[in-house]
Every structure is written in C-alpha cells, then in structure tokens.
Amino acid sequence: MANIKQNTLRKRADKLPEVTDKMWNEVIKVNREVYQDYIDSNQQLSKETLKQYKSASRQFFWWVKMRCQNKPIYQIKKSDFLKYRSYLINHGLSSSALNLKKSCISSICNFAENMYDSGEDYPDYVGFRNFTRGLPPIPKNKVYEKIKVSEEEYKDMMRVLEEQKDYLGMAWLACAFNVGARRSEIIQFKTEILDYEHHINSKGEKQNYRFTHVVRGKGRSRDGKPIRFMLNDEAYKYLKLWVTERSYEHEYIFTVKYGGDYVALSKTWANSFCQNKLSPIAGRRINPHLFKASCITWLLESGKDIKVVSKYVAQHESVETTQLYDLRSDEDARDGIFD
C-alpha cells in the first residue's frame, strides 16, 4: 500500500473507555435516574445524536463517580465540571468533541433545572442551576489540516476506480464531489432518481441538473431537515452506470450484498471506502467529510456566488456557515500584500 500522508496537525485522541452496564450500575442512583428521564423525554432527537448523548452523559457521570465521590447532580459545581473539561482536554479531545460533550451535559442540566423545580416534590433540587453556564469558551483546535480534494485528484480517483471496475465507488465519489451531500444523505438516494427529467426553469429552459427526491438532512429532530439536492449530469452519469452494472433491482441506489440479501449502505461504508480506496490513490488521508467542503470550494473557485452556493448546494441557513467550508487558498492575496 502507498505511503499515505496523514495531514495531522496533532496526535489524534484515543477513544474514551466505554461505560459498560456493570460500571453504570455503580453510578449513584439519582444520576442514573435523571439520565434516564432526560433520554426518555428526548426521543425526538435523531438516532445518531441520541446515541452520542447517551455515550457522553454516561461517561460524564462515570467520571463523577470516579473523581467526585459519586456526587448527585444537584451537588455538582462549576469547578467540578471545569475539572472534567480539563480531563477531556488532557485526553486529547478536539474542541468540537469537547463542545459536543458540554452541550450534552448542559442539556441534561437544563432538563433537571426545569423538570425538578418543585421544592415540595424535589427538595434536593431547590436552587440547582446549570453548572456549565458562564464558563470560559473552549479554544478551537483541529486534529487534521483540511485540504480540499482538487479536481485533478477527483479525476485520478475516478480513473483508478474505473480500472478496478468499482462502479459503486465511482457513483459514490461522483455524488460526494459534485452534489455537496453528506455521506448520510447520499445513501438515501433512491433508484427512482434515474427516471427524473432535467429541471425546467420558470422560463421554460432545460437546466443541466435534476432535483433529487426529499432526503433527511442534518438536523436536531428525528426527521432532520428535509432537503432536495441538485444532481448534476456528472453525478447522474455514474449513478446510471452503477445501477446498470449491478444487474439487480433495489429501491436504493447505494447497496451491497450482506447476509445473502442486498441492503442499503451504512453510513460507515464511506469511512472504509475513503480509507482503503481513495486515500492510497491520493497519497494522503481522505475522509468523507472533506467532500462537502471540496464541492463548495470548487464552485466558489469557478466564480459562483457564495449566496447561491450556500442556499442551493450547501443547504445552509446562512452564508457564515458556508464560509467555514470554504477551503480556498489565500496565497495569491497574501503574496501581493506588500506590493
């Protein structure tokens, strides 16, 4: 296998140990109860978010058991939470991971503050306040340097995949690079898309893209954000090629054989594909999250208005969010600064 440049800015943190059921039963009962009440009241969260919140809250309360004498939540102070945050920082977690864990614990505290505010029924919670409020912000950091996937790299990847007759990989890559959809959104694409016609604008002019059906985009609720993506001719071409070559019928485009049946791809398939197929071709670490930013950057470099890209491709609520995905180099502007 080719030597792959990791683009690492700092050492990646090891995963925190899983809190097993046996460990969890050692956590004080009141903390287990508030955790369960909180989880039961938040079934509107997406499946992925709920999974992350379960893990993060159990890790926190286990740390309280080990480092804070198993205090009940209503006795935990800001100083305790700052110690926990330092523990996570020393463990090497990124700022985004730290903010996720803080958000989870803050949400539980808000729940406890609002639900157990009756002194008669919950006297121990009288005066309890969210102990994550008013703390210093978490300094931003990065684990990996984000380098866009260039058009040349995309073409190289497609060429090698074609030589390998990996038509599924070509279809996924064409969508990831050209459409701006996330890995969890791409796998929702249905075969019916291939029967869709080009979009006709209000002037009756045929456009070089088709709209997809509505897919579940990233969002807080279980239903997420409903999105229709613009599928350009490049992506459509390779979707069509894959479905033709796979020689079986299925509701979804992105499918594999598993346990004797054809099933839709899992979200984690893209991780393995990028690590084992695309990274060796590029000679550097490629991950699925790079492609949305690369698509946005490529469109901005070609002169497209960021407001249009933000609304119709990035599917963002504001241009400020889209700017975070802009990986354009400022080298030319920098070189001329003292001219």
The Cα–Cα gap between 165 and 170 comes to 9
Q: Which of 109, 125, 141 is the last residue of a domain?
A: 125
The tally of domains found in the chain comes to 2
Instruction: Kindly state whether residues 113 and 43 are assigned to the same domain.
Output: yes
Output the domain CATH number for residue 177.
Answer: 1.10.443.10
At 301, phi and psi to the nearest 5? -65, -30
Model-wide pTM > 0.85: no
pLDDT for residue 339? 57
The Cα–Cα gap between 50 and 222 comes to 9
Instruction: Kindly state whether residues 186 and 239 are assigned to the same domain.
Output: yes
pLDDT for residue 1? 43
For residue 130, is it within any domain?
A: no
pLDDT band at 4; cut points 50, 70, 90? low
39 sits in which H/E element: helix 29-40
Instruction: Kindly state whether residues 169 and 113 are assigned to the same domain.
Output: no
The Cα–Cα gap between 294 and 152 comes to 12
pLDDT: is 182 or 43 the higher one? 182
For residue 61, is it within any domain?
A: yes
pLDDT above 60: residue 46: yes
| Residue 82: HSE in the Cβ half-sphere, 13 Å Cα cutoff | 8
Instruction: Kindly state whether residues 26 and 120 are assigned to the same domain.
Output: yes
**DSSP output for 160-187:** HHHHTT-HHHHHHHHHHHHT---HHHHT
pLDDT band at 121; cut points 50, 70, 90? confident
Instruction: Kindly state whether residues 119 and 162 are assigned to the same domain.
Output: no
**Residue carrying the six token digits 């700017």:** 323
β-sheet bridge partners, residue 258: 261
For residue 9, is it within any domain?
A: no
pLDDT above 90: residue 43: no
Q: Which of 90, 107, 125 is the last residue of a domain?
A: 125
Which amino acid belongs to residue 149? V
- Domain span at residue 330 reads 151-334
Instruction: Kindly state whether residues 170 and 90 are assigned to the same domain.
Output: no
**Residue carrying the six token digits 């978490």:** 138
The Cα–Cα gap between 69 and 67 comes to 6
Residue pLDDT, tens place only, 280-328: 999 999 999 999 999 999 999 989 999 999 998 988 888 888 888 888 8
Instruction: Kindly state whether residues 82 and 198 are assigned to the same domain.
Output: no
Helix (H/G/I), strand (E/B), else coil: 154: helix
The Cα–Cα gap between 256 and 262 comes to 5
Instruction: Kindly state whether residues 90 and 179 are assigned to the same domain.
Output: no
pLDDT band at 336; cut points 50, 70, 90? low
Instruction: Kindly state whether residues 38 and 185 are assigned to the same domain.
Output: no
Helix (H/G/I), strand (E/B), else coil: 252: strand
Instruction: Kindly state whether residues 192 and 276 are assigned to the same domain.
Output: yes
State the helix-helix crossing angle for 47-67 and 95-115, rounded to 10 degrees: 80
**DSSP output for 47-78:** HHHHHHHHHHHHHHHHHHHHHSTT--GGG--H
* Strand spans (E) along 87-224: 209-211, 215-217
Instruction: Kindly state whether residues 219 and 299 are assigned to the same domain.
Output: yes
**Residue 326 near residue 320, CB atoms below 8 Å:** no
The Cα–Cα gap between 19 and 8 comes to 29
For residue 138, is it within any domain?
A: no
- Per this entry, what is the length of the chain? 339
Residue pLDDT, tens place only, 247-264: 899 999 999 988 889 999
For residue 134, is it within any domain?
A: no
Output the domain CATH number for residue 87.
Answer: 1.10.150
Instruction: Kindly state whether residues 181 and 295 are assigned to the same domain.
Output: yes
pLDDT above 70: residue 334: no
- The overall average pLDDT reported for the chain is 89
- Residue whose C-alpha is closest to residue 254's, from 194, 315, 314, 298: 194
